[in-house]
Amino acid sequence: MGAALRAALRGGLQTELQAGPNAKRSAGLDARSNAPLNATLAAPATRLAAALCLALAMTLAACRDRNAAASQSALPQVSVTRPLAREVREQIDLSGTVAPSATVTLVARVQGTLKEIGFTDGAYVKQGQLLFRIEPDTYRAQLVYDQAALDNAEQELKRQKQLTTDNATSESTLQKAQTTRDQAVAKRDMSRINLGYTDIRAPFAGRIGARAFDVGNVVGASDAAKLATLDRVQPVYVNFTLNERDATRIGLFTRPPRTVRVNVLGVPAAQGEDAALEFVDTRVDPDSGALRLRADIANPDAHLIPGMSVEVHVPAGAPHNVLLIPDTALLREQAGAFVLVVNGAGVIERRAVTTGGLFGGQRAISAGLTAEDQVVTGGALAVSPGVKVRVVSGVAQGRS
């Protein structure tokens, strides 16, 4: 303001100084006339006043511009995004636990010294693979002994039958020989079974846990002596529960979905796997009001292991169009969910919205917004409805 005023004043003074001598000469020449003298003296003052008015106008305009800029920069700053229109399918997000599709606890069926271990702890084993071998010599010898006893019993039975034909022996003696032979067969068969128990093999392919005993230990002395646990992990089950209300809403009892979506924690659902819904319990737990369900996953690369927590997404209806906004832009209070939007005048408005499912980091909005609304995504805590703001960044989701 000072520079403009000084320039205007300087220009007015220079004009007055240049006009002063001329005015004096004109006055000397026309000394007998007062009118020319008054006009000549008034001209410099008029020009000076005009210069002062121009300088004042320029100064006021500059002040208004600076005040407007300062007022704009003082407004709260927010970042916004426009809702993204997409076709989605609503789903119910649940937590599940991976379980083996089959599991077996390996125990020693006979007592003896552990002679051999045929696996590495935590390894994958094939069906029929030798896992443990208990010293077989004692049981092999017992089988030979019992086989010999059976041979003798059969010879005696044959002899008694011949004597009965010749009426040289009683019927009771023949029956006794028959009983002895049958007992010998049973003992021989039991010895054969016990010998087979000395080799413990995998009943199915799977992953085996850590062994409980090393070679040289005597096992089988107690029925509770567990040697190892074998789990089938291809396929695996995913166990989860669904509350009665949601089960009724999606028609689980009348039109159960054929598949569900399963993904590891921290992995987007889009990168998960489809799993067949294999089992729906026949009754609702009266204590929890929940229904047990089970899905089956092929798990070809065995990345899912028993006990792992996963996310389960159950389809809850047909595909439909919704608007998606970042879930972080959604605000909640007792009355319900709402968002803040910036209207055409740059003023904050509060909009109540009806929310749907979560798709990645995007929340479905079924009512309350349009695709052209500017939804506040940053700086919402520093503003309130009715406040004028300055938009510092805007993102149109899915648009280039």
What is the chain's alpha carbon radius of gyration, rounded to the nearest angstrom? 49
Q: Above 90 in pLDDT, residue 10?
A: no
Comparing 59 with 231, the larger pLDDT belongs to 231
Of the candidates 202, 270, 275, the one whose C-alpha atom is nearest the C-alpha of residue 238 is 275
Tell me if residue 205 falls in helix, strand or coil: coil
Q: Token pair for residue 109?
A: 């069926």
Strand bridging mode 77-82 / 390-396: parallel
pLDDT of residue 223: 66
For residue range 176-220, list pLDDT tens digits in order.
999 999 999 999 999 999 999 999 999 999 999 999 999 999 998
CB burial readout 86-106, b (16+ within 10 A) else e? eebebbbebebebbbbeebeb
Q: At what angle do helices 137-165 and 171-197 cross, to 10 degrees?
A: 160
pLDDT of residue 253: 82
Of the candidates 298, 375, 379, the one whose C-alpha atom is nearest the C-alpha of residue 342 is 375
Q: What is the mean pLDDT of residues 138-150?
A: 96
- Which residue is it, tokens 């208004």? 64
For residue range 23-37, list pLDDT tens digits in order.
444 444 444 444 444
Helices (H) and strands (E) in the chain, counts: 5, 22
pLDDT of residue 153: 94
Q: What is the mean pLDDT of residues 235-244?
A: 95
Residue pair 12/55 in contact by the 8 Å Cβ criterion: no
For residue range 277-335, list pLDDT tens digits in order.
999 999 999 999 999 999 999 999 999 999 999 999 898 877 888 899 999 888 988 88
Average pLDDT, whole number, for the chain? 83
User: Which residues, 6+ apart, have CB-to-CB distance to 312 below 8 Å?
Assistant: 93, 94, 95, 96, 238, 240, 260, 261, 262, 295
pLDDT of residue 197: 95
- Which residue is it, tokens 């089970």? 294
Q: Token pair for residue 235?
A: 């396929």
Tell me if residue 190 falls in helix, strand or coil: helix
Euclidean distance between CA atoms 10 and 105, whole angstroms: 106
Q: pLDDT category, 17, cuts 50, 70, 90?
A: very low
Tell me if residue 30 falls in helix, strand or coil: coil
Per DSSP, 286 falls in state: T
Comparing 82 with 382, the larger pLDDT belongs to 82
Considering all CA atoms of the chain, what is the largest pairwise distance in Å, rounded to the nearest integer? Answer: 193
Residue 181, Cβ density class (10 Å: 0-12 exposed, 13-18 middle, ≥19 buried): buried
Comparing 261 with 29, the larger pLDDT belongs to 261
Report phi then psi at 156, rounded to 5: -65, -40
In the chain, alpha helices (H): 2-29, 34-73, 137-165, 171-197, 244-249
CB atoms within 10 A of CB 187: 18
For residue range 356-383, list pLDDT tens digits in order.
877 778 888 888 999 999 999 988 788 8
Q: What is the mean pLDDT of residues 339-354?
A: 92
